[in-house]
Chains A and B, each alone.
Chain A
Amino acid sequence: MSRHAFLESTLQGFTRALSKALLSEHAATQPGLLQQLDPRVRVLGILALVVSVILCRRIEALAALLLLAIALAVASRVSVASLAKRVWLVILGFSGLIALPALFLTPGEPLFTSPALHLSISVQGVRTAVLLVLRVETAATLTTGLVLSTAWTHILKALRSLHLPAEIVTMLAMTHRYVFLLIETANQMFESRQSRTVGVLSGSEQRKMTARTAGVLLSKSIELSHEVYLAMLSRGFRGEVYLLTDFRLQPRDYFGLTAFIFTSCFAVWIGR
């Protein structure tokens, strides 16, 4: 790694986060299957499916659930390419790395033995690895499908109507808003520093710079919170949080919810 590559990699990280957010906002406005359902039904339904994925103990049932998750995502105008890039490859890299040694470490009936390397792959090992990767891939595909097809404000409203405390929902909403502001600020700070950097920074200089930038960002954050608080007070905030909830369940929502719950229960029963 070159001496100042950390500046670039940090900048890249910020840009990636911003582009991910833009991408998901775009998909949420497309007309699709999930988008037509009430956000509360989407949140509850996907949660039920994720729980059924965790409870499933059979590879066949998990594979069917993965196919269902992909079908749901495609029907909701989420591109398979973005799913593959955002979810499958990342998860495969991470879970695959964890699952790979399980092939050799899990004791059981040998499937393949290499006497030269003193290694043997057990049937149970293969099953463990496949179960783990499939389960994680399916759950992540389902949640990504939900997040990409639903605007963040709708997810929060749905959580609120499911009785999550109003304070928590407000904090989540405000944090989400200020994450992007702070990412933008940090991005500008790093960019301006990068444009003024000539030559090579030593390791300790880099560390000092990172800590200073984080410190300045902290001071700015605290200042921002004071300003936000004053703005809230001037708009009549008295410690009570009100959210506008105007969701109305349509007949198709009831049908959707029934379908989600029925599928989840069926998957749990089949995958016992």
Chain B
Amino acid sequence: MHIPDGYLSPSTCATLYLFAASGWYGALKRIKQLLATRAIPLISVFAAFSFVVMMFNVPLPGGTTGHALGVGVAVIVLGPWGSILAISIALAIQALFFGDGGITTLGANCFNMAIVGSFTAYAVYRMIAANSQLESRRRVLAGAVAGYVSINAAALVTAIEFGIQPGLFHDASGTPLYAPYPLHVAIPAMMIGHLTLAGLAEAVITAGMVSYLQRADLSLLRGVSGLAQTPGPSSEAGAERCQGRLWWAVALLMLCTPLGILAAGTAWGEWSSADLMNPHTREQIGAASGQHAPPSSAPVGIQKLSTLWTAPFPGYAPRFIKSPAFGYLLSAMFGVGFLASASLAARVVGRKWLRGAPRS
């Protein structure tokens, strides 16, 4: 699942670095708040542990072996934010030092395994374990399912990243420039191995370790020093958390923007005057409007008003970018970045204003 350099286009790498960076930023911030100085050695040693666990061969039924990611155990012991940092650091060392995974694709690998893997494992573990006793068998089952689902979720996201490459990035003759398989080939190819061997290995190691820790060191299953706990439901913290979630949703949506370019044609009612003149698009407009042909020339109002304002990135395609897909992604990133900066600026100004206002 460690994507080497060269499989993903630069724009995909850049976008995924952005997502990974937002995950790292959030994780560092939370860890700093919760554990301050203690976090540094704890996460370092846990990252080293995850690294070593990835080298453990787990014997699987049928006489084969597989190796786990260790994300399930990391989430149970460190919580999702601690796990993001620990797994990311293990991945960075693998990429930088052992050549496992690329440098340009490090953001993608961290996003897939550390961020998607950790949050999926956390959600599944919390859902199944609920409020059960730490010693209960249910925790073992929760660990196994969390491990299995998280490694498969990470594999699925990786497959999607591979699969969107040929559709988005190819040359004039149709030769794919990066990963060569479309979604319908990439998804089954990635998932078969993970749904069987790798998923089982992760399930076995997570369940086995939860079961071992129940007997050997129950305190670790509480989540080390409350790393897994989120701050109390005070109004300001609650509001900030809610905002944080919103930004996460925006980030996820942005990830899906390259899919938008796959849809051909223009949205109904969003035709430009050039569209209304072009015989090919006129046919499409007619077909989309219940076989009602559009007027023979563009209405004068549209012709006049459409030239009033020329957007810097018309049609989500900045003029200086040749590749439409990259232009599309860049537009999405620009839009979200602009909104984020505006929101940040508004908060800073708001706080200053509040501080400056006389206290009653």
- Give chain A's interface residues, CB within 8 Å of chain B: 1, 6, 9-10, 13-14, 17, 20-21, 24, 47, 50-51, 53-55, 57, 86-87, 91, 94-95, 98-99, 101-102, 105-108, 123-124, 127-129, 131-132, 135-136, 138-140, 143-144, 147, 152, 155, 165, 167-168, 170-172, 174-176, 178-179, 181-183, 186, 203, 206-208, 210-219, 221-222, 224-225, 228-229, 232-233, 237-239, 241
Instruction: Tally inter-chain residue pairs, CB-CB below 8 A.
Output: 247
* Most chain B CB inside 10 Å of its own CB: which residue of A9, A91, A108, A176: A176
Identify A186's interface contact among B7, B52, B98, B204, CB under 8 A. Answer: B52
A186 to B50 alpha-carbon distance, docked (Å):
12
Quick one: closest A residue to B31, CB to CB?
A167
Chain B nearest Cβ from A219, distance in angstroms: 5
Check B277 for interface membership: any CB of A closer than 8 A.
Answer: no
A144:B99 contact, CB within 8 angstroms: yes
B56:A167 contact, CB within 8 angstroms: no
Chain A nearest Cβ from B133, distance in angstroms: 19
A13:B204 contact, CB within 8 angstroms: no
B97:A165 contact, CB within 8 angstroms: no
Task: Give per-residue flags for B89-106: 1 if the beta carbon is below 8 A from chain A beta carbons, else 0.
Answer: 110110111110011100
B174:A132 contact, CB within 8 angstroms: no
A206 to B37 alpha-carbon distance, docked (Å):
39
In the complex, chain A residues whose CB is within 8 Å of the CB of B205: 210-211, 214
Per DSSP, chain B at the interface is: helix
In the complex, chain A residues whose CB is within 8 Å of the CB of B73: 214, 218
Identify A179's interface contact among B10, B52, B60, B213, CB under 8 A. Answer: B52
B44:A170 contact, CB within 8 angstroms: yes
Per DSSP, chain A at the interface is: helix
Can you give 23 A-B contacts (C-beta < 8 A)?
A6-B58, A10-B56, A47-B103, A51-B10, A108-B175, A127-B175, A129-B180, A132-B7, A135-B6, A171-B44, A171-B89, A175-B48, A178-B45, A203-B63, A211-B205, A216-B212, A216-B216, A217-B49, A219-B216, A221-B49, A222-B46, A222-B220, A228-B41
Number of residues on chain B facing chain A (CB within 8 A): 74
A155 to B46 alpha-carbon distance, docked (Å):
22
Identify B44's interface contact among A57, A87, A129, A174, CB under 8 A. Answer: A174
Identify B53's interface contact among A135, A176, A214, A239, CB under 8 A. Answer: A214
A132 to B102 alpha-carbon distance, docked (Å):
14
Check B85 for interface membership: any CB of A closer than 8 A.
Answer: yes
In the complex, chain A residues whose CB is within 8 Å of the CB of B48: 174-176, 178-179, 181-182, 221
A183:B52 contact, CB within 8 angstroms: yes
B45:A224 contact, CB within 8 angstroms: yes
Chain A nearest Cβ from B62, distance in angstroms: 9
Query: Given A176-B97, A183-B55, A237-B37, do A225 and B46 touch, yes or no (CB 8 Å)?
Result: yes
In the complex, chain B residues whose CB is within 8 Å of the CB of A241: 40
B99:A140 contact, CB within 8 angstroms: yes
Task: Give per-residue flags for B13-57: 1 if the beta carbon is below 8 A from chain A beta carbons, else 0.
Answer: 100000000001000100010001110111111111101110111
B40:A128 contact, CB within 8 angstroms: no
B58:A228 contact, CB within 8 angstroms: no
Chain B nearest Cβ from A272, distance in angstroms: 9
B173:A124 contact, CB within 8 angstroms: yes
Identify A54's interface contact among B6, B47, B93, B180, CB under 8 A. Answer: B6
A178:B44 contact, CB within 8 angstroms: yes
A136:B6 contact, CB within 8 angstroms: yes
A238:B204 contact, CB within 8 angstroms: no
A9:B65 contact, CB within 8 angstroms: yes
A139:B104 contact, CB within 8 angstroms: yes
In the complex, chain A residues whose CB is within 8 Å of the CB of B313: none
A54 to B4 alpha-carbon distance, docked (Å):
11
